[in-house]
Amino acid sequence: MAQQGPSRPLRPIAPRSFPDPPTPGPPPEEGKIKRASMACTECKRRRTKCNAAETAGSPCSECALHGRECIVDEFADKRRKISAKRTEESLKFYRGFVEELLEAIRSGDGPSIESIVNIIRSGASHKEIHSVITQILSQKPREDGDLLDFRKNATPDGKMPDMTPDGWP
């Protein structure tokens, strides 16, 4: 019969030793790679390393080396608070715009609703549509006298303040 198992003797098992706990304090900066939180448009396009954050006011080293225009667009970075705040303001404006449109349709008569639809179908800009809606709402107060929450910010003449987000046609 053949012998089963290893032919040489097993070595004894020793208890596991634990390393000393790390000393509290700041981690060493030597091995860390510091990454820029934002790159200029040229470095993004070419996918090169950018140090625009370190060279505030002057071009990054890549753009300076190759004579390119170094532009840092803070609004292009979707991770930043500035971009989130701008998006939030834009959404508030659009919501108010839609609520005004609905209010004008609800409280308007046939010809005024038809004028709203015609201006929308004509391909007018958002500002032109908004001015028509504001004009209709200022002419026709609601019968029940109830103002919607979004109308509380209206000026004394009944018009909404200009909250047009940048980039609207």
**20-24, 62-66, 137-141, range with greatest mean pLDDT:** 62-66
Instruction: Tell me which of 89 and 14 has the higher pLDDT.
Output: 89
Looking at residue 102, its pLDDT comes to: 92
Each residue's pLDDT tens digit, 44-61: 899 998 888 777 778 899
Looking at residue 146, its pLDDT comes to: 43
SS3 content of the chain, % helix, strand, coil (to 5): 45, 0, 55
With 70 as the cut, is the pLDDT of residue 40 above it? Answer: yes
Stretch 127-141: mean pLDDT, rounded? 84
Residue with tokens 């002419």: 139
Confidence band (pLDDT; 50, 70, 90) for 114?
very high
For residue 163, give both structure tokens.
Answer: 């909250």
With 60 as the cut, is the pLDDT of residue 160 above it? Answer: no
With 90 as the cut, is the pLDDT of residue 92 above it? Answer: yes
H or E stretch including 139?
A: helix 126-139
In SS3 terms, the chain reads as: CCCCCCCCCCCCCCCCCCCCCCCCCCCCCCCCCCCCCCCCHHHHHHCCCCCCCCCCCCCCHHHHHHCCCCCCCHHHCCCCHHHHHHHHHHHHHHHHHHHHHHHHHHHCCHHHHHHHHHHHHCCCCHHHHHHHHHHHHHHCCCCCCCCCHHHHHCCCCCCCCCCCCCCCC
Please state which of the ranges 15-24, 84-93, 118-127 shows the lowest mean pLDDT.
15-24
- Has this prediction a pTM greater than 0.75? no
**Mean pLDDT for all residues in the chain:** 75
DSSP 58: S
